[in-house]
């Protein structure tokens, strides 16, 4: 089975290095390929969208990581990579829900995107409460404490 | 840039065909590859997980779809594929938040997964409220009406 991805667009913003940023403050543009422009029709009717992207700064060797300290904090015990949002994963797919400010032609303007400038975008989905957000979610204390 | 995915596991359930299912009632197993078992450590501390999977039943020609009727309802006007959750997308990546019932060894037992039996799994992330769910999301009336 061929599991090859084709970027549908690219991120344009001022974030040059991965890491913690004041992402809520940064306005990013998602430039969708011209021939996919129609696929954005009526997306401005949603306040939020889910952006799926390829974390292209993750080297192949980092994709072998199995355990990490949550949020890079050495004093927190190791957890499995699938129990973490760390980018160093077998398939470096990033997913984030962002606020959609503007849709013009093949360009979306958003805030809240944590991807660096030049990141290949794989998919865009409308954010639908209920579908994407369970009503009663519980997280371990090491998550709650850090947020 | 090589954007090739490697499955990290596979879905095992009783859903044989894609479409609308009583997915909340179906218990699915996610069988993670044996050599990635450690990457699941402490995932049972989360009540919900985000499952990213490859919708392998989508043929290459369907990946060229640019517009669809929302939820397949012909009486609703066409919207762009990126304004829809339809599986017929350029990169057939499915994302869903599911309830985690059990973690045993390399197997996760979940409810709410809408993937068919045999679906390749690409990634598993912990569901973190706040990160994944904006507080004030708005959707168009054709979404609200259908749910």
- Determine the average pLDDT of the residues in A50-74: 91
CA closest to A67 among chain B residues: B39
CA closest to A138 among chain B residues: B47
Q: Is residue A125 part of a domain?
A: yes
Q: Decide if B52 and A7 are in contact by the 8 Å CB cutoff.
A: no
CA distance A12 to A42: 22
CA closest to B45 among chain A residues: A140
Closest Cα partner for A92 from B6, B10, B74?
B6
Q: Which of A137, A142, A144 to mutate to test the interface with B (most CBs of B within 10 A)?
A: A137
Q: Is residue A4 part of a domain?
A: no
> Does the pLDDT at position A145 exceed 60?
no
Q: Decide if A93 and B122 are in contact by the 8 Å CB cutoff.
A: yes
Q: Point out which residues pair with B27 in neighbouring strands.
A: B111
The pLDDT of residue B123 is 98
Q: Decide if A67 and B38 are in contact by the 8 Å CB cutoff.
A: yes
Range with the poorest average pLDDT among A96-105, B30-39, B63-72, B113-122: B63-72
Q: What single-letter DSSP state applies at residue A82?
A: G
CA distance B16 to A105: 39
The pLDDT of residue B133 is 73
Q: Is residue A1 part of a domain?
A: no
Give A-chain residues touching B3 at CB under 8 angstroms. 4-7, 54, 120, 122
Give the CATH number, domain containing residue B86: 2.40.30.70
The pLDDT of residue B60 is 87
Query: Tens digit of pLDDT for each residue in B17-59?
Result: 876 666 668 999 999 999 999 999 999 999 999 999 999 999 8
Residue A66 domain boundaries = 9-145
Minimal CA separation from B117 to chain A, in Å: 16
Q: Is residue B44 part of a domain?
A: yes
> Does the pLDDT at position A144 exceed 60?
no
Q: Point out which residues pair with A57 in neighbouring strands.
A: none
CA distance A28 to A72: 25
Q: Is residue B3 part of a domain?
A: no
Q: Which of A80, A100, A121 to mutate to test the interface with B (most CBs of B within 10 A)?
A: A80
Nearest Cβ partner for B139 among A46, A80, A93 = A46
The pLDDT of residue B98 is 92
Query: Tens digit of pLDDT for each residue in B99-125?
Result: 999 999 999 999 999 899 999 999 999
Note the ipTM here: 0.89
> Does the pLDDT at position B145 exceed 50?
no
Q: Is residue B4 part of a domain?
A: no
Q: Is residue A3 part of a domain?
A: no
The pLDDT of residue B22 is 66
Average pLDDT of chain A to the nearest whole number: 88
CA closest to A144 among chain B residues: B128
Average pLDDT of chain B to the nearest whole number: 88
The number of domains in chain B is: 1
**Bridge-based pairing state of the strands B79-80 and A93-104:** unpaired
Q: Is residue A107 part of a domain?
A: yes
């Amino acid at each position: 089975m061929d599991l090859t991805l084709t970027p549908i667009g690219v991120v344009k913003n001022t974030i040059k290095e991965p890491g913690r940023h004041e992402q809520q403050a940064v306005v990013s543009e998602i430039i969708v390929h011209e021939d996919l422009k129609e696929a954005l029709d009526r997306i401005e009717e949603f306040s939020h969208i889910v952006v799926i992207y390829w974390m292209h700064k993750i080297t192949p060797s980092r994709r072998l990581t199995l355990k990490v300290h949550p949020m890079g904090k050495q004093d927190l015990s190791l957890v499995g990579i699938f129990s973490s949002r760390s980018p160093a994963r077998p398939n470096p797919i990033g997913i984030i829900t962002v606020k959609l400010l503007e849709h013009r032609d093949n360009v979306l303007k958003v805030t809240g995107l944590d991807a660096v400038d030049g990141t290949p975008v794989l998919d865009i989905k409308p954010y639908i409460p209920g579908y994407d957000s369970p009503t009663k979610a519980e997280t371990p204390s090491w998550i709650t404490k850090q947020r």
